[in-house]
Structure 1
Amino acid sequence: MNALIPPSVRLERSDGSAHVVLGQARGAVRLRDLAQRGSAKAFLPHVDSAVPEVVFLNTSGGLTGGDRLDYRLELGPECRAVATTQTAERAYSAGEGAARVQVLHEVGRGGWLDWLPQETILFNGSALERRTEIRLAPEAGCLMVESVVLGRAAMGETVGRLAFRDTRLVMREGRPVLVEPLCLDDHVLAAAGSPAVLGGARALATLALVTRGAEDALGPVRTVLDEPGVEAAASAFDGKLVMRMLAPDGWPLRRQVARVLAVLRGRALPQVWQI
């Protein structure tokens, strides 16, 4: 427990959920249902595109021990949508327990989802457990990215202690297509300078494209994996294209992610991204 807080004091924790349902109606993708509670919000800004954008927001301003956050998006058959977060999520020092985040998106038959959340910034002493699952129906596909930054280099912050467990899954008809477990803790940070771990990097990202013929994008993607200061590689097989990136700070990583997304998407980034 934080030494500045008496053990008898029970701190208030944030708890929020936001659930959006989109479906086809009169030849367009339209909002079918919206439910939100507590610190989690969702809104659909007007964009000049036939593909709607869903923006999730945590109004508590960050996460700490004991907080709960739940985002969910359902897309009906043949629906295409982009989902993102309004800003970077921040996990602050946790006096006790871990913050827990659940993300569940379902994509109907023939649908498509771009899940493009902004970075997660982990501060010293943070504790966060997150599970992201995208469920694809037959002939559905997705593009997803997750970026993690260890503190803010410009502010001189260092991270020597944390507990971060992140699980990302893409399922198709109940079967796993992509499983991405990530664990960062004190032991990993102690060896973070090793090439077998982070190689001294403070920012990392994984980007995955899951669709029939994803392998065809490997060549074009590799041509833009040359952002200064970023180490990146890509591979593709069996309807999946996966890229991993390491950088000394979040800004060059963000530029590299944006360049890859431009190749894969062929259109502008979500409006809330600031590039």
Structure 2
Amino acid sequence: MPTLEDTTLLRSGAHASGHRFDGERRWAAALSLGFETRDEGADAPVTRLARRWHRGPLRVQRPFYPEGKTGCCHVYLLHPPGGLVSGDELHISASVAEGGHALLTTPAAAKLYKADSHGVAWGQHTRLQVARNAILEYLPQETIAFDGSRGRQTTTIELEPGARTLGWEVLALGRPASDLPFATGALEQRFHLSQNGIPLWLERQLLDPAHRRFTGRWGQGGATVQATLWAVGLDDETAAIDALREQLPDNHRWAVTRRRGVLLLRYLGNSRNEAWALCEQAWHLLRPLLTGVPAHTPRIWLT
């Protein structure tokens, strides 16, 4: 029979071994990056990864300059486990100082695994800060949510006046090719984008297969893949939207709009490849308009 100590531990969500089985269980990992500009005698200032700190299995290797020494600084975010399980708590933060230009991406798809028998959730929280006249591109590869996954994902973007940013989030629900749909579990996504302290885009989305919104035509409509692309700092948003509508595939699975200086492109369908190709093509169209330089595909996407 359990001892009084065992009973007390179980009521608190803990086990005699020291492990917890409630919402207080945390296997934390964190990564903080800081980009600065430096005058190194080149024709233009150079963006350098001046600060990096990590805890747990989150880190980066050396930065890359595929666009030239004074071009955009490319950095790959590495999470060696490759996915999130119950109790994982990831915190990623990055800041770009005035005049800098950085691009963040990942080497592979992130996986959100099925929750344990206690239903403990995971969490992933990203905070991006962009200073005046700086540029940050946040282009992670897609996220795959396994059936039964439970967790919360937040993205917070804080811009100073004159800051520019372009990014996306591609989410695939379940693994339909293996006949393993996203039939149980619950995900929550939150986006918070502000400039000079003023909120421009606030969004909260719940993905629960048990809710009628998940299959209703007025909601998710049974779609298994969704994507959101954002861009802030375009000189002519109308011209950018016209270019997207003229050059992207003509179908009903995507739409583009703008509000309060934020351009938003949405995809809702059933193909990861289609969603990724759409976002990448949109990036190729928007990047020259936003940054003045053509898109340069990160090498890691081709491996």
User: Aligned to 1:272, what secondary structure does the other structure show?
Assistant: helix
Structure-1-length-normalised TM-score:
0.90
Contact 2:188 2:204 in 1 (8 A): yes
Distance 1:51 1:139, change over 3 A: same
User: Aligned to 2:141, what secondary structure does the other structure show?
Assistant: coil
2:47 partner amino acid:
V
1:206 partner amino acid:
T
Q: Which residue of 1 aligns with 2:113?
A: 92
For 1:140 and 1:151, the matched residues in 2 are separated by 36
Contact 2:85 2:115 in 1 (8 A): yes
Q: Does residue 235 in structure 1 map to residue 257 in structure 2?
A: yes
1:273 partner amino acid:
W
Q: Which runs of 4+ in 1 moved over 6 A?
A: none
TM-aligned CA deviation for residue 119 of structure 1: 1.0
TM-aligned CA deviation for residue 216 of structure 1: 2.8
Contact 1:133 1:169 in 2 (8 A): yes
1:88 partner amino acid:
A
Percent identity at matched positions? 26
Q: 1:143 aligns with which of 166, 175, 178?
A: 166
Q: 1:17 aligns with which of 16, 30, 50?
A: 30
Q: 1:246 aligns with which of 253, 257, 268?
A: 268
For 1:226 and 1:192, the matched residues in 2 are separated by 26
Contact 1:168 1:179 in 2 (8 A): yes
Structure-2-length-normalised TM-score:
0.82
Q: Does residue 111 in structure 1 map to residue 130 in structure 2?
A: no
User: Aligned to 1:256, what secondary structure does the other structure show?
Assistant: helix
Contact 1:42 1:57 in 2 (8 A): yes
1:19 partner amino acid:
S
Moved more, 122-131 or 247-256: 247-256
Q: 1:71 aligns with which of 92, 107, 110?
A: 92
Gaps of 5+ in 1: 1-6
Q: Does residue 259 in structure 1 map to residue 272 in structure 2?
A: no
Q: Does residue 225 in structure 1 map to residue 248 in structure 2?
A: yes
For 2:112 and 2:134, the matched residues in 1 are separated by 32
Where does 1:1-275 land on structure 2 (aligned, <5 Å)?
10=19, 14-26=27-39, 27-49=45-67, 50-95=71-116, 96-188=119-211, 190-213=212-235, 214-226=237-249, 231-265=253-287, 266-274=294-302
Distance 1:268 1:154, change over 3 A: farther
TM-aligned CA deviation for residue 117 of structure 1: 1.3
**Structure of larger gyration radius:** 2
2:60 partner amino acid:
A
User: Aligned to 2:34, what secondary structure does the other structure show?
Assistant: strand
Contact 1:227 1:256 in 2 (8 A): no
TM-aligned CA deviation for residue 74 of structure 1: 1.1
Q: Which residue of 2 aligns with 1:3?
A: none
Contact 1:227 1:252 in 2 (8 A): no
1:16 partner amino acid:
A
TM-aligned CA deviation for residue 108 of structure 1: 0.9
1:264 partner amino acid:
L
Gaps of 5+ in 2: 1-14, 40-44, 288-293
TM-aligned CA deviation for residue 194 of structure 1: 2.4
TM-aligned CA deviation for residue 91 of structure 1: 0.6
Distance 1:180 1:272, change over 3 A: farther
Moved more, 200-209 or 235-244: 235-244
Deviations 1:228-254 (A, max 9, x none): 7x7001112432211110121211111
Distance 1:151 1:267, change over 3 A: same
For 1:206 and 1:64, the matched residues in 2 are separated by 24
Distance 1:227 1:67, change over 3 A: farther
TM-aligned CA deviation for residue 146 of structure 1: 0.7
TM-aligned CA deviation for residue 45 of structure 1: 4.0
